[in-house]
Structure 1
Amino acid sequence: MRTFLILVLSFCFAQLAAAQDFPYGQISTDELNMKKYAKDTSAHAVVLREYGKAQIVVANDDNLKIMFEYHVKIKIFDNKGFDEATKMVSLQNNDENSDEVEKVTGTTYFAGSDGSIQKAEFDPKKVYTSRDDKYQSTFKFTLPALVDGCVIEYTYRLVSPIGIHLYEFHPWAFQSDIPKVYSEFEAVIPGHFNYNASLRGFLKLTKNTSSVLTGCFSTHGAASDCSDIIYAMSDIPAFIEEDDMTSPKNYLSELSFDLVEFTNPYTGTVVKETKEWKDIDYLLKSSFAFGGQLKHKDLLKDRILPVYAGKTDDLEKAKAIYAYLQKWYKWNEYIGNGSDGVKKAFESHTGSVGDINMSLIIALNGAGINTEAVLLSTRDNGLLNDLYPAVNKFNYIIAKANIGDKSYLLDATDPLMPFGMLPLKCLNDRGRVFSLDKPSYWIDLNLPQKETSTSMMDLTLQDDGKIKGTITNYSIGYEAYKKRVAIKKFNTTDEYVEDIAGKFPKLKILKSEITNLDSLDKPVVEKYEVEINIYNKMGAGSLTFNPFFLDRMTTNPYKLTERSYPVDRGMPGDYRTTLLMHLPAQYVVDNPPKAVGIALPNNGGRFLTDFQASDDNTFTFSHIIQLNKSIYSSQEYPYLKELYNNIIQSEKAEMVFKKK
C-alpha cells in the first residue's frame, strides 16, 4: 500500500501566506492545569503547538546552507511522558562538512506551591554530541526540573551544508508517538531549486498556502524570488506502533522533498535530478560499485568451477554455488547495494550484503546460469516511491537466478537461509531487477514461502500423577529457519534442550533428538521423551488440564481500536497442535472442549479446534491456526483481532478429568 500525496510547488496560483513562529514563554494557567488531553485521554504528553521553518540561505561564510529552525511546546501529564523532554537530533557528516546545531533554548514551567507559574531554564552548556559512525552523529539535550503536569518549551537551529542535503530538502514529521494539537511547517525555497513535495500517511493537511517572496535570494550576482509554502495539520493523533508492520515511516504523516532540478547560482548551469529508469540503469551500469563489478562474470570462475564439477543440472549447480558462498563468507553486518571490490572481499572471506550477493551473481553467471541483480528497500528502510526513481532509496541487493521457467531469489549472507528463500527483512513490496544487457523492471517480493509448525503430543496420565510420553515438533519453511537460528545460538543442542527444560520447572526431558539441523531444505524435527510432574494427588475427584501447558498465547498482538495501516506479516503461516491423551481407566473427560470454527473474510485464514473421544479412555484434541495472507488491510484488522481473541480464550480453557 502506497500512501503518497504529491504536492506541486507552484507560483502560478500563489496565495498570500502569513506564517510566523508563535511567541516564546507564553504559558497559560489553563495549559499548566490541564489534567489530560480530551481527544486522547491515554496520552502521557501532548504537543500543544509546534512550528518549523526551513530555508536555503547564503551563510556568513558565503556558502549555501539549509537553515532549519524548530520551536515546540509540550504538556507532560505524568512521568511516563518525561522522555519528551529529551531531544535528539541526527547530524550528517562527510569529509569536508557537517551539520551543526546552535541557539538551543529551553524552559520547564510548573506550578508553585502558591499556584503561581514557576520556571526552570535550560543550561545551554548541557548539550552533548556523540559520534555514531563515520557519517553520522547525534546531538542531545534534556530539559531540567521535570514534574508531573509541567509544560516544556524549547527551540534550536540546525544549519546544514547544502552539499549534504541538496537532494532532500528538510522533511517535516507531522505525526509522532504522542498526539499534537497543532503542527505547522514553513518552507522557503529560492527559484534556483525545484523540489517535489510528497505528503506520506493517511492524514490530510488543514492548511496549505503559498506566496512569492520577491528578491529573497542573492549570491554572486545571481538572484531569484522564493517560494514560501506553509503546511499545517490540527488535531493529529498519536501514531501507535504494533506487531507485524513494516517501517513506521511508511505510514506516519510526514512531508518530504525530492529535488527535481536546480540552477547552479554560481555558473548558471541547469542540472536535472529527476531521473527516468533508463537514467538509473545507465548510472548503475557505469558505476564501479555495480556495473564495474558485474561485468567481470569470470572473476570467480576458477574458484567456483570445482564447486559444481560433475553437476549437469543448472539447479543443482546453483544450489552448490549458493551453499559454497554461504559458508565462504562471514557477513560483516553492513548492508548496501554495491561492492567496493568483489575480489578483495572474496579473498578476505568477509563482506557486506553488496559484496556477498554480488559475488553470488558473478559466480552464477560465470557458471552459465542467467542471474540478475535485484535492488530493494528493506522493511525498516521504508517503501519505494515509484514516482521518482532514485538509487539512494535502495539499501539492499539480492540475486535472481533464472533457471528453466522458474526464478529463484537468493540472499547468501546468512549460512542458515535455504536456497530460494529470503529473510523477512527483504519481503517489502517490490524490488527492481537490473542486468547489464536489458532495461530494468519491477518484481514482486511477495514470495510463496511460508512458515509452518506442527506439534504432535502422545501423552499418558499415569496413576502416580505424572504425565509421560513424547512431544514431536516439526518446523517447516521459514519456521525451520527461525528454529535453526534459535538452536545455533547455543554451543550445543544439549544446551538448547537444557534451556527448554529450564523454562518449565515441572518438565523433565528424559531423551531428546533433533534432526535435519544442517539440512537446510528439510524440516527441523525435534523429538522429546518427557515426564511432567503435574499432579501431586491423584486421589482427588477431578483434575484440571490445559493442553497448552508448554506454550500458551496470553496476549493479543493486535490491541488497537482502529489500525490505519495494514498488518504485514511478510508471509502466510500454518500452526498446528495435535494431542493424543491416554487417561487412567478410572477417569473420563467431564467437560470436553467445544469445537471452534472461525474463518476470516476473503479466505484470509481460519481457527479450528476439534475434540474426539474413544472408548478406551483416549482422546484426541487438535488446534489449527491458518493465516493464508501475507498482508491484511486495515479493513480486515477487526476480524484478525477478533480471531486472536478467540484463540486466547480457547487456549485459556481447561479440561476436567473426573473419576468415574
Structure 2
Amino acid sequence: MKKALLIIILFIGTQRFAHAQDFDKSVTTEDLELKKYAKDTAAHAVFLDEFGNSRIDVVSDDHVRLIFNYHARIKIFDAKGLESGTITIPIHHSADNETAEEVDEIVGTTYYRDDDGLMRSAPLDIKKVYTVKDYKYRSTVKFALPALRPGCVVDFKYRLMSPYLDGFRSWDFQDEIPKIHSKYEVHIPAFWNFNASLRGGIKLSNTSSELERECFSSHGAKCDCSHIVYEMKDIPAFIGEDYMTSPKNFIAAIYFEEVEWTNPYTSVKTVVAKTWKDIDHLLKSDENFGSQFKRKELMKDRITPVITGKTDELEKAKAIYTYLQKWYKWNNYIGIYSFEGIKKAFDSHSGSIGDINISLAAALRAADLNVELVVLSTRENGNINMLYPVISDFNYVIAKVNIGEKSYLLDATDPLLSFGLLPLDCLNDKGRVISLDKPSYWIELSGLQKESSTRALDLTLLDNGKIKGTIINYYSGYDAYKKRKAIKKFNSVDEYVESQDEKFPKLKILKSSITNLDSLELPLSETFEVEIDAFDNLNHNRLVFNPFLWEKITTNPFKLAERDYPVDWGMASDSRLVLSMHLPAGYTIESPPQSVAFKMPGNGGMYASSFEEGGNSFTFSNIIKFTKPIYTSEEYPYLKELYNKIILTEKADMVFKKK
C-alpha cells in the first residue's frame, strides 16, 4: 500500500553529515559467475548497484539547470533478462524544441565470458544511441548495450540536463527486477525549497544530510545547499498484477514538489505550493483553461442550429455532446489545457483532451446549462497527492453538466462513449471540480459506472450429433462500449462476425445480426444462429458436454499468495449466462451441473449457478457479480478463492446418457 512521508528540506541545527559518491568498483569474476540472486531465485536480472545524483547548478553556458547523473550495473541471468540491457530515457521539451532537456555523457559497457571462458568487455558505440519523438512535448533517448547474452553484466552512465527546475528529479527505488543496492543524493540550493514524499511500503535503510556552504554561486548571488542522501538495500522486484492502477502509486520511490523559490538575482520570492483557493484562481484565470472555458459566445453560433426546437435541458446537453463528439477527432495528446485555443481546435476538427472537453463545456454554457470542469489524474498517471495542491498532478479534464438533481460527467474525445460514460482510465480516485462561480471541490470517480452482460443460448442437440440454435449476447454500460470498440476495429460487421467464427473452430455462424451498434444510448445486442460440431454422431451411450462453450474462465488472474495493493476494477460488474437446451428423445442427463452459491464476505461478490430439468430439456444459468469497484489487500484472499471456485465449477462437464 502507498505510504507517504513528508520531509521538509529545511536544515536547522546540527545535521548528520552526508557522504555519498558513485560506486566505482570494477566488475568482478564473482559478478560474472553469479547464477542466481539468492533473495529472489526467480529473477531474470538484478541491479548489482545503482546511483543517482541531482543538483541545481550553473552550467557552462551560464544558465541554471537541473543536472541529473545516473549510473547502474545490472546482472543478466537468462534470455528473459536481456531486455534489461535496452535503456530508455524520457526527455521533455517545448513544442518547438526551444526549451528542452538534453542527455549526454552516455557511456556503457557489457562484460561477458567468451566461448573460451575469457572475460571480455564490449563498449557502447555512441552512434547506436538514437532519439524517437513520442509526442509534441516528449521524446525518448534509446540504446541497447552491445554483446548481450545470458550471464553478462551491463554497466552504463548518462547525464540529463533540464531547464525545468520545478520538476526536481524523482527516484524509483523499486523496479521490475530486484536491486541489491540503490542510492540517491540531492543537492538543493537554499534559493529553492521542496517537499519530499516517500511512497511505497519499503523503508529507507539509510538517510543522511549535511549543509554545504556556498555551493551555489551565480553573478554574485551565493547560497548554501542541502545535501541529502537516500539509500535502500535488498529491494524486492515490484510485481504487477491484473486490475491495478498505475504502479507508481505503489512502487517505493521518492518524489519532490516545489514549495517556493527565490530569484537569485532579484531576491523576489515565488510561492509555488498553494491552497486550493489559489489553484482555483490560477486555473480560472489561465488563458489556456479558464479563459477558454468562458468563451461561450464563441460557441453560441456554432451550437444554435444543434439545439433549435429543443426545450428540455437534458435533450440539449445530449444534442451538443453528440454534435461535438462527431465533430472532433482526438489528436492523442492528453492534458488539461487548450494550448491552441478552442477556436483553432474547432476550426481544424481536431484537438487534445483539453481542447475538446473545454470546448464542450463552453458550448454547454452557451446553451445556458449549469456546467463545471473536472480535472483528474488518469489511472495510468497515478493518484493525486492529497497532502498539498499540485496542478501538475492532473493530466485530464472532463465536463460536468448539472441538470435538475443529477450530474453527468462527459468526455467527447471518443466517438463511442455514450452520454455520461467515461473511459476506464478516468475512473481513478477523485477529481477536482472547477466552477466559475464557486470554490472547487472533490468528487469521487471510482464506482460511477457498471459493466453488465447477459448471454442467452437456446440450443438443440440433433440426431447427427450437431448442436443448432441461437446465441444472443446483451451488453450494457461499459460492456456495451467495449463491445462497440471491438466491433469497430474491423472494416465491417461481416468481418467481425467472421472473426468470431474463426475464434471457435467447431462453431459455425449461419446467420447474424447486431442491434444498436451506433445507438450509443441503448444496450447493444448480437444474435447468432449457430451450428456446432459437438459430436461425430449419437452412436454413443454417453456424451460429454460443457455448458460454457462460448466463453469460460480457465485462469485465475490473481496469482500472488498475498497482495500489498488493492484490486481496482474501476467499476462493479454483472455477468450472466442462461442456457436452454433440448435433447433428442432417448437421452437423459446422467451428470447435471451442480447448483452452487459462493459469496464473498460483506456481499463483495458472488458466483451462483442453478439447474432445472424438464422432460428432454433443461435450463442452466449462472451469475458472476462483483459489487465493488475496489477490493482491499485484506479482501484479496477471498477474491482469489472465489475465482478458484469459479474455475473449478466451470471446468465440470455434464454427461448425457442414452436410455
Q: Normalising to structure 1: TM-score of the pair?
A: 0.95
Q: 1:624 to 1:341 in 2, by over 3 A?
A: same
Name whichever of 104-113 and 369-378 sits farther off. Answer: 104-113
Segments of 5+ residues of structure 1 without an aligned counterpart are none
Q: Distance in 1 between matches of 2:213 and 2:337?
A: 44
Q: Which amino acid aligns with 1:648?
A: I
Residue matched to 2:472: 472
Change over 3 Å in CA distance of 1:282–1:529 after alignment to 2: same
Aligned to 1:274: 273
Question: 1:191 is matched with which residue?
Answer: 190
Q: For residue 403 of structure 1, report the CA deviation from its aligned partner.
A: 0.8
CA distance in structure 1 between the aligned counterparts of 2:269 and 2:283, rounded to whole angstroms: 22
Of 167-176 and 8-17, deviating more is 8-17
CA contact 1:168–1:256 (8 Å) conserved in 2: no
Equivalent position to 1:131, from 112, 130, 133: 133
Residue 508 of structure 1 aligns with which residue? Answer: 508
Cα 1:504–1:140 shift into 2, 3 Å: same
CA separation of 1:261/1:540 partners in 2, compared to 1, >3 Å: closer, same or farther?
same
Aligned counterparts of 2:597 and 2:236: Cα–Cα separation in 1: 36
Mean Cα deviation higher: 91-100 or 55-64: 91-100
Q: Measure the CA separation in 1 of the matches of 2:128 and 2:306.
A: 60
Shift of 1:114: 6.7
Structure-2 separation of matches of 1:62 and 1:518: 59
Counterpart in the other structure of 2:161: 159
Please give the alpha-carbon distance, in whole angstroms, between the structure 2 residues aligned to 1:133 and 1:532: 48
Name the residue aligned to 1:42.
42
Q: Secondary structure at the match of 1:299?
A: helix
Structure 1 stretch displaced more, 389-398 or 303-312: 303-312
Q: What is the CA–CA distance in structure 1 between the aligned matches of 2:572 and 2:337, rounded to whole Å?
A: 31
Q: Distance in 2 between matches of 1:64 and 1:50?
A: 26
CA contact (8 A) 1:3 1:250 kept: no
Deviation for aligned residue 1:526: 1.4
1:617 matched to which residue of 2?
616
Query: What's 1:630 paired with?
Result: 629
Which moved further from structure 2: 96-105 or 480-489?
96-105
Aligned positions, number: 655
Q: Distance in 2 between matches of 1:293 and 1:106?
A: 48
CA distance in 2, matches of 1:309, 1:470: 44
Match of 2:124 among 122, 125, 133: 122
Residues in 1 aligned to 2:631 and 2:310: alpha-carbon distance in whole angstroms = 43
Distance 1:352 1:137, change over 3 A: closer
CA contact (8 A) 1:176 1:238 kept: yes
Question: Which deviates the most, 90-99 or 36-45?
Answer: 90-99
Match of 2:16 in 1: 15
Q: 1:114 to 1:326 in 2, by over 3 A?
A: closer
Going from structure 1 to structure 2, the CA distance change for 1:115 and 1:202 (only over 3 Å counts) comes to same
Aligned twin of 2:535: 535
The alpha-carbon deviation at position 387 of structure 1 amounts to 2.1
Q: CA deviation at 1:473?
A: 1.0
Query: SS in structure 1 opposite 2:181?
Result: strand
Does residue 106 (structure 1) correspond to residue 105 (structure 2)? The answer is no
1:604 and 1:71, CA in 2 relative to 1: closer, same or farther beyond 3 A? same
534 and 170 in structure 1: CA distance in 2 versus 1, 3 angstrom threshold: same
Shift of 1:289: 1.4
Whether the 8 Å contact between 2:608 and 2:623 is mirrored in structure 1 is yes
Distance 1:131 1:478, change over 3 A: closer
The Cα offsets for residues 422-462 of structure 1, whole Å up to 9 and x where unpaired, read as: 11111111111112222111111124320000001111111
Deviations 1:198-236 (A, max 9, x none): 112222111111111122221211111111101011111
C-alpha separation in 1, matches of 2:195 and 2:269: 17
Say if 1:533 and 1:125 are closer, same or farther in 2 by CA, change over 3 A.
closer
The aligned residue for residue 639 of structure 2 is: 640
What is aligned with 1:414? Answer: 414
Residues 116 and 231 of structure 1: CA distance in aligned 2, closer, same or farther (over 3 Å): same
- Alignment partner, residue 143 of structure 1: 145
SS in 2 for 1:344: helix
Matched, 1:388 2:388: yes
Distance change in 2, residues 1:132/1:335 (3 Å): closer
Which AA in structure 2 matches 1:229?
I
- Corresponding residue for residue 329 of structure 1: 328
* Counterpart AA for 1:250: N
> Which whole-Å CA distance do the structure 2 matches of 1:409 and 1:456 have between them?
32
Closer, same or farther: CA 128–494 of 1 in aligned 2, 3 Å: closer
Structure 2 stretches of 5 or more lacking a match?
A: none
1:258 shift after superposition: 1.1
What is the DSSP-based 3-state SS (H/G/I as helix, E as strand, rest coil) of the residue aligned with 1:154?
Answer: strand
Compared with structure 1, are the counterparts of its residues 354 and 130 closer, same or farther at alpha carbon in structure 2 (3 Å cutoff)?
closer
1:457-507 deviation line (CA, Å, top 9, x unaligned) = 111111110111111111011111111112222333222222211222221
**2:210 & 2:88 partners in 1: Cα distance?**
32
Identical pairs, percent: 58
Q: Please name the residue that 2:52 is paired with.
A: 52
Please name the residue that 2:317 is paired with: 318
CA 651–384 in structure 1, closer or farther in 2 if over 3 Å, else same = same
Tell whether the 8 Å contact from 1:433 to 1:440 is kept in structure 2 after alignment: yes
Name 2:218's counterpart in structure 1: 219
1:353 matches 2:353: yes
SS at match of 1:298: helix
CA distance in 2, matches of 1:533, 1:125: 59
Amino acid at match of 1:150: C
What CA distance in whole angstroms lies between the structure 2 residues aligned with 1:324 and 1:577? 37
Q: Deviations over 1:388-415 (max 9, x none)?
A: 3222222211111111111111112222
| 1:46-95 residue CA offsets vs partner (Å, 9 max, x unmatched) | 11111111111221222212222222221111111111112111222334
Contact 1:455 1:471 in 2 (8 A): yes
Instruction: Name the amino acid aligned to 1:15.
Output: R
User: Which amino acid is the alignment partner of residue 513 of structure 2?
Assistant: E
Task: Measure, in 2, the Cα distance between the counterparts of 1:45 and 1:569.
Answer: 31
Kindly provide the amino acid, as one letter, of the partner of residue 100 in structure 2. S
Query: Is 1:243–2:245 an aligned residue pair?
Result: no
| Cross-structure match for 1:70 | 70
Q: What letter matches 2:410 in structure 1?
A: L
Amino acid at match of 1:33: E
What CA distance in whole angstroms lies between the structure 2 residues aligned with 1:335 and 1:547?
44
Query: What is the CA-CA distance between 1:138 and the residue it aligns to?
Result: 2.0
CA contact (8 A) 1:458 1:581 kept: yes
Amino acid in the other structure paired with 2:287: F
Structure 2 CA distance, aligned partners of 1:644 and 1:250?
25
Per-residue Cα deviation, 1:536-555 (whole angstroms, up to 9, x for no partner): 12101111111122222222
Aligned to 2:168: 169
Alpha-carbon distance in 2 for matches of 1:478, 1:61: 54
1:164-203 deviations in Å (ceiling 9; x for gaps): 2x11211111011001111110111111111111112222
1:515 Cα deviation from its structure 2 partner? 1.4
Q: Give, in angstroms, the shift of residue 625 of structure 1.
A: 0.5
Q: Given residue 640 of structure 1, which amino acid in structure 2 is its aligned partner?
A: L
Q: Check conservation: 2:576, 2:621, Cα contact below 8 A.
A: yes
Note if contact 1:214-1:226 (Cα within 8 Å) is conserved in structure 2: yes
Provide the rounded CA distance (Å) in 1 between the counterparts of 2:439 and 2:553.
Answer: 49
1:125 to partner: Cα distance: 4.2
**Secondary structure, in 3 states, of the residue corresponding to 2:335?**
coil
Mark the CA change 1:103 to 1:495 in structure 2 (over 3 Å): closer, same or farther: closer
Q: Which residue of the partner structure matches residue 301 of structure 1? A: 300
* Counterpart check, 1:605 vs 2:605: yes
- For the 8 Å contact 2:447–2:629, the answer to whether it is kept is no
CA displacement at 1:112 relative to structure 2: 5.4
